[in-house]
């Protein structure tokens, strides 16, 4: 399977996929979608589209501060999950962080999200848990 990463320009696809994937968690946790925050972060984050044979199947959104790189969103269309795309996206994020000389890659994930096991397989460890969210990080060597 040929997975490619391109700078995302389709804000609609990104928002739709995030809302579809995260909707059940938001509903369960009674979180409302914040359109203003999404719009603000669209300009602030590095947004990538994940393509398989030139077909959009996911998004990866990154940011950084002085201390670490952050995976802000990693979303794969449900029809393409469990095919190694999430693993490739994490490897891509690690490569970006390493090339920019960061030592840590961090993310947040709802503790009930099955992706926790993927992140743990990829070397992330839980630093802390607050409410329903795990704060995870891994070293970038």
**pLDDT bucket at 140, cuts 50 / 70 / 90:** very high
Q: Are 64 and 103 a contacting pair, CB within 8 Å?
A: no
Q: What CATH number does residue 14 fall under? A: 3.40.630.30
Burial letters 103-118, b for 16+ CB under 10 A, else e = eebbbebbeebebbeb
Rounded CA gap, 52 and 131, in Å? Answer: 35
- pLDDT score, position 141: 80
pTM, entire model:
0.94
Rounded CA gap, 91 and 101, in Å? Answer: 15
- Quote the DSSP letter at residue 1: -
Look at the chain and report how many structural domains it folds into.
Answer: 1
First CA to last CA distance, the chain:
27
pLDDT (tens digit per residue) in 14-38: 999 999 999 999 999 999 999 999 9
Rounded CA gap, 10 and 48, in Å? Answer: 10
Residue numbers of the domain that contains 36: 3-139
Mean pLDDT of the chain: 96
Q: Are 135 and 106 a contacting pair, CB within 8 Å?
A: yes
In Å, what is the CA distance from 13 to each residue of 19, 58, 60, 106, 125? 10, 9, 12, 24, 30
**pLDDT bucket at 82, cuts 50 / 70 / 90:** very high
Neighbour-count burial of 86, counting CB atoms closer than 10 A to its CB (0-12 exposed, 13-18 middle, 19+ buried): buried
């Amino acid at each position: 399977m040929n997975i490619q990463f391109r700078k995302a320009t389709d804000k609609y696809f990104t928002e739709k996929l995030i809302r579809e994937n995260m909707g059940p968690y938001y509903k369960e946790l009674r979180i409302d979608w914040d359109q203003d925050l999404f719009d603000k972060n669209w300009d602030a984050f590095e947004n990538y589209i994940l393509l398989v044979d030139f077909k959009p199947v996911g998004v990866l959104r990154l940011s950084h501060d002085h201390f670490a790189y952050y995976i802000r969103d990693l979303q794969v269309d449900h029809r393409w999950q469990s095919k190694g795309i999430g693993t490739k996206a994490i490897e891509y994020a690690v490569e970006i962080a390493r090339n920019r000389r960061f030592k840590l890659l961090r993310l947040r994930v709802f503790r009930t999200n099955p992706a926790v096991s993927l992140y743990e397989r990829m070397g992330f460890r839980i630093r802390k848990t607050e409410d329903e969210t795990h704060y995870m990080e891994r070293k970038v060597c």
